[in-house]
Amino acid sequence: EVQLVESGGGLVQPGRSLRLSCAASGFTFDDYAMHWVRQTPGKGLEWVSGINWNSGSIGYADSVKGRFTISRDNTKNSLYLQMDSLRTDDTALYYCAKDSRRYTYARGSFDIWGQGTIVTVSS
Amino acid sequence: EVVLTQSPVTLSLSPGERASLSCRASQSVSSSYLAWYQQKPGQAPRLLISGASSRATAIPDRFSGSGSGTDFTLTISRLEPEDFAVYYCQQYGSSPLTFGGGTKVEIK
């Protein structure tokens, strides 16, 4: 079964850091680009960051650029999001999503999604 | 950044009726890199359509996508009870990737 399982969410104070993880199974992880997408309560979807198969192509939303870092470990079938200098408006449900393509993060739709991990930034 | 505007925000229809959802882009979406997703309460989004008109695996043929350039449409030919949900369009042709604000299809 193709599956993505996120972890690492929680309650954190503004200005602190958090690292999210996404464990992939049921498909050849290094054949695909991967993404993080977030959703605030009752609101829509926001793409956060994407990474191609070999980490050679990476992109970020302007709202997180310079604060968040996406990475992947193909030997562990895992995707990560290092979130630094967190702000209250980073509070959201964070999804990991599989891209339908490999070579760049900006040419494929998101065909598999995890169930998400909740990040709450509050003092 | 490509801004996607979805309309209407809410669509109130009865089962069996036809639904037409619009997604308009602020600039042309390259090579029709436009997708549609369905999201039900408490669930992750699910891919319905990619490339503006190609149904994803296991998506019923009552769902269809059309359009190009800046104007795209998702049509549900006959609404089933399980189709009442929120629908999002997304462009993935240029960075930053962007989503529309969503259309909620609710039971009338």
Say if residue A41's pLDDT is above 80: no
Cβ–Cβ gap A111/B88 under 8 Å = no
Question: What is the pLDDT at residue A123?
Answer: 97
**Predicted pLDDT at B66:** 96
Chain B hits for A105, CB-CB cut-off 8 Å, are 95, 97
B9-32 per-position pLDDT tens digit: 999 999 999 999 999 999 999 878
Least Cα separation, residue B14 to chain A (angstroms): 24
How buried is residue B93: exposed, middle or buried, by Cβ count under 10 Å (0-12/13-18/19+)?
A: middle
pLDDT tens-digit profile of A58-91?
Answer: 999 999 999 999 999 999 999 999 999 999 999 9
Whether residue A20 contacts residue A83, with contact meaning beta carbons closer than 8 Å, is answered with yes
For residues A29 and A78, what is the distance between their CA atoms, to the nearest angstrom?
A: 8
Closest residue by Cα to residue A115 from A11, A28, A37: A37
Per CB-CB distance under 8 Å, the chain B contacts of A46 are 99
Average pLDDT over residues B58-79: 97
Cross-chain residue pair A44–B94, CB shorter than 8 Å: no
- The answer to whether the beta carbons of residues B2 and B95 sit under 8 Å apart is no
Respond yes or no on whether the N-terminal peptide bond of residue A41 is cis (omega within 30° of 0).
Answer: no
Residue B29 CB-half CA count within 13 A: 30
